[in-house]
Chains A and B, each alone.
Chain A
Amino acid sequence: MTEEWRLLQTKDNTAAVNMAIDRAVMVSNSNKKVPPTIRFYTWNPPAISIGYFQSLEDEVDLKNCKKLGVDYVRRITGGGAVFHEKELTYSIVISESHPQIPKNIMASYGRICGAVIKGLKNLGINSEYKPINDIIANGKKISGNAQTRKMKTVLQHGTVLLDVDVDKMFSILKVPNEKIKDKLIADVKERVTSINHILRKEICFEDAATAMKKGFEEEFNVKLVQGSLTKEEIKLAAKFEKECFSSKDWNHRR
């Protein structure tokens, strides 16, 4: 019988709530309360997430964030700063000992990215995994991914760009050298692409989510069953949101 995993689709949450849900699902799966879980989500308002080891004030122009109504949050995963606006974000939470997950961290990035690559293929886009943590299409980045392992559980989340506004992104992200900012923006425009740009039409979140659902099912040979957060997860997420992801202590800790 095909193994069944849980599918969550939680649109339009704040940055702190999104990161709190990922962490709550991780705890819940680690306690064997829920099956492996795939979540597709969006961010409202748009947000910047920074990697666990980054300095918030070094990376993000907080004044401009406020001016433009852009939220910010520190992730529990490493990696770089990401501007989340027109994208599908996914997360996967699964036991480290699940036979589908390679023990080797880099190999597991490749495996999970394989599901995203199959999802893109379902939309008609050829792409490939580019270590350390990117997926590229036509030689340009279309997806960034980050993984953590805690409590014998793997959490990987990542973006799949539906569209990208590099100018807006750089009005919020700080650059090490203002003098080369224009060149940097031009470089990023050259190096980043999106689903809409490649397909020359607008793909909505729902269509992208359907393609990604199929991609995860194909890669892991499982059936994703639409579900919802448990009462315990909702309670835990509210706690993490308040105590961690919306707190100054957490977001400004580096």
Chain B
Amino acid sequence: MQNKSVYKIPNGKLLKISLTYSKKNNTINQIRIMGDFFAYPEEAIEVLENKLKKTMLTKDKLIERINFVIKENNFEFIGLDAEGLAQGILMCLK
């Protein structure tokens, strides 16, 4: 399944997600995270896109995984956060 979402993060920026997922396993196959936010370093988003593959499409699992990757790599996001990202991803399922 493939779907897109557009989500304005509260107090943040406009997030656009393009998601390919397995409906059977309820997991991410491929994800593109786009928008007018900031990430330091910029490569953080590509790392996160790779690390999100096979993650369960539930709010808790997504937030946990995103926060783990941020912490593990010392990434800094501005105008974007784990909750907003999880919300944008889950909106692709509707």
- Chain A interfacial positions (CB closer than 8 Å to B): 51-55, 58, 76-81, 105-106, 132-133, 146-150, 176, 254
Q: For the complex, is B68 an interface residue (Cβ under 8 Å from A)?
A: no
Among A52, A55, A78, A81, point to the contact of B16 (Cβ < 8 A): A55
Q: Is B34 a contact partner of A132 (Cβ separation < 8 A)?
A: no
Smallest beta-carbon distance B11→chain A, Å: 9
Residues of B within 8 A of A55 (CB): 16, 32, 34
Smallest beta-carbon distance B71→chain A, Å: 17
Residues of A within 8 A of B6 (CB): 176
Question: Which chain B residues in 39-58 approach chain A with CB under 8 Å?
Answer: 39-42, 45
Q: Is B42 a contact partner of A54 (Cβ separation < 8 A)?
A: no
Complex A-B, nearest 8 residue pairs according to Cβ-Cβ distance, in ascending order: A80-B36, A78-B38, A55-B34, A51-B36, A52-B42, A132-B79, A176-B6, A53-B34
Residues of B within 8 A of A76 (CB): 42
Using CB atoms, name the residue of chain B closest to A150: B41
In Å, the complex CA distance between A147 and B38 comes to 8
Query: 9 A-B Cβ contacts within 8 A?
Result: A51-B36, A53-B33, A53-B35, A58-B16, A76-B42, A81-B36, A105-B38, A105-B40, A150-B41
In Å, the complex CA distance between A254 and B42 comes to 13
Question: Which chain B residues in 8-67 approach chain A with CB under 8 Å?
Answer: 12-14, 16, 32-42, 45
Q: Is B35 a contact partner of A54 (Cβ separation < 8 A)?
A: yes
Q: For the complex, is B1 an interface residue (Cβ under 8 Å from A)?
A: no
Which of B6, B12, B14, B78 has the most chain A CB within a 10 Å cutoff? B78
Smallest beta-carbon distance A150→chain B, Å: 7
Residues of A within 8 A of B79 (CB): 132
Q: Is A149 a contact partner of B36 (Cβ separation < 8 A)?
A: no
Q: Is A106 a contact partner of B78 (Cβ separation < 8 A)?
A: yes
Residues of B within 8 A of A77 (CB): 38
A148-B13 in contact given A53-B37, A132-B79 (Cβ < 8 Å): no
In Å, the complex CA distance between A246 and B39 comes to 23
Using CB atoms, name the residue of chain B closest to A50: B36
Residues of B within 8 A of A150 (CB): 41
Smallest beta-carbon distance A13→chain B, Å: 23
Residues of A within 8 A of B45 (CB): 53
A79-B36 in contact given A55-B16, A58-B16, A132-B13 (Cβ < 8 Å): yes
In Å, the complex CA distance between A50 and B91 comes to 24
In Å, the complex CA distance between A254 and B34 comes to 8
Among A54, A105, A148, A149, point to the contact of B34 (Cβ < 8 A): A54
Residues of A within 8 A of B41 (CB): 149-150
In Å, the complex CA distance between A143 and B13 comes to 17
Smallest beta-carbon distance A41→chain B, Å: 22
